[in-house]
Amino acid sequence: MTFGTLISFLMYLTQMIGPFTQMSQFFTDMAKTSGSTARIQEMLQMPEEDQTSGESVALDGKTLAVDHVDFEYEKGQPILQDVSFEAKPNTVVAFAGPSGGGKSTIFGLLERYYNPDKGEIKIGDTTVTGVNLTNWRSQIGLVSQDAAIMAGTIRYNLTYGLDGEYTDDQLWNVLEMAYAKDFVSDMPDGLDTQVGERGVKVSGGQRQRLAIARAFLRDPKILMLDEATASLDSESEMMVQKALEKLMHNRTTLVIAHRLSTIVDAD
Ligand SMILES: Nc1ncnc2c1ncn2[C@@H]1O[C@H](COP(=O)(O)OP(=O)(O)OP(=O)(O)O)[C@@H](O)[C@H]1O
Ligand SMILES: [Mg+2]
């Protein structure tokens, strides 16, 4: 081989190495993408909830009744068996029981995330499966066990999903009632503070108080509290408890609590 040929061979070689590493990178990316695509396909194929059909029903003054309900998430693993109860208008119904007993599941059924396998849920004389879903959920407030906070501002988290426009005063007002005004006003941008992905920049107790403020703002006919004060210190718990008592006034309330002190006053 002449010296010139050797040099050109080496130069071609270095030029080829780059594309080859790129090619292996490409196949790695493609494998990743096909994984995510499969997941997206799965979601796109899920049946959509029917938000529009069904009649609108006003929930106030009506008794909510759960009638001999059976439910299982997976075949052969019954979670609820023959559950019946009634929540008369403007009363407080409390749920207590062991962890994993199915309390949050009952709330899931009432929100109509799932349908009972047997039995029915009724509001007044109407079976809820015939009620318009948007209408139904707009009248129910749920403070869930793992307070759902999304990336965005505090303002966004208080008002998402709600139709009306809210003034800052209204928002501060509900924050105050939920004992959340102090920590929000201490934040750099107040109501416009970004809470981070899944609310990582606010603590568990703060998240819970934001969820309660949200419930105040919605002013629901039926209020469901799932361990709403579980991750608060005893002082803020007392304050929030007082605020909740105000909120429970004039509406049907369902509470889940492990600490019996929170539900001694229930009907
Ligand atoms: N989405 C789901 N898919 C399958 N199984 C579930 C699902 N959610 C809950 N379960 C199961 O249902 C049972 C009841 O759960 P649930 O969350 O209703 O309990 P809980 O009474 O609220 O308990 P805790 O007091 O700990 O909150 C549990 O055994 C749980 O494993
Ligand atoms: Mg639960």
| pLDDT averaged over every residue in the chain | 88
Q: Are residues 215 and 109 in the same domain?
A: yes
Probe ligand 1: pick from 69, 99, 105, max atoms within 8 Å of CB?
105
Question: How does 113-124 read in b/e, with b if 16+ C-beta sit within 10 Å?
Answer: eeebeebebbbe
Q: Are residues 27 and 145 in the same domain?
A: no
What are the φ/ψ torsions at residue 230 (nearest 5 degrees)?
-65, -35
The domain of 19 spans 1-46
Q: Are residues 131 and 199 in the same domain?
A: yes
Q: What is the pLDDT of residues 168-194, one digit of tens each?
A: 888 898 888 888 888 888 888 888 888
Measure 93 CA to ligand 2 centroid, in angstroms.
16
Q: Residue of the nearest CA to atom 30 in ligand 1?
A: 100
Residues with CB under 6 A from ligand 1: 73-74, 79, 97, 99-105, 145
Query: Other C-beta atoms within 10 Å of 93: how many?
Result: 17
pLDDT at 107: 93
Q: Are residues 40 and 63 in the same domain?
A: no
CB 231 within 8 A of CB 258: no
Mean pLDDT of 81-108: 91
Q: What is the pLDDT of residues 10-49, one digit of tens each?
A: 999 999 999 999 999 999 999 999 999 999 999 999 988 8
Measure 110 CA to ligand 2 centroid, in angstroms.
14
Question: Going by DSSP bridges, is the β-strand pair 64-72/78-87 parallel, antiparallel, or unpaired?
Answer: antiparallel
In a domain, 51, yes or no: no
The count of domains in the chain is 2
Q: Are residues 119 and 227 in the same domain?
A: yes
Q: Are residues 25 and 122 in the same domain?
A: no
Q: What is the pLDDT of residues 97-154, one digit of tens each?
A: 888 889 999 999 999 999 999 999 999 888 998 899 999 998 998 888 887 788 888 8
Nearest of 199, 224, 221 to residue 210 by alpha carbon: 199
pLDDT at 95: 92
Question: Going by DSSP bridges, is the β-strand pair 252-256/92-95 parallel, antiparallel, or unpaired?
Answer: parallel
How many whole angstroms separate alpha carbon 265 and alpha carbon 85?
18
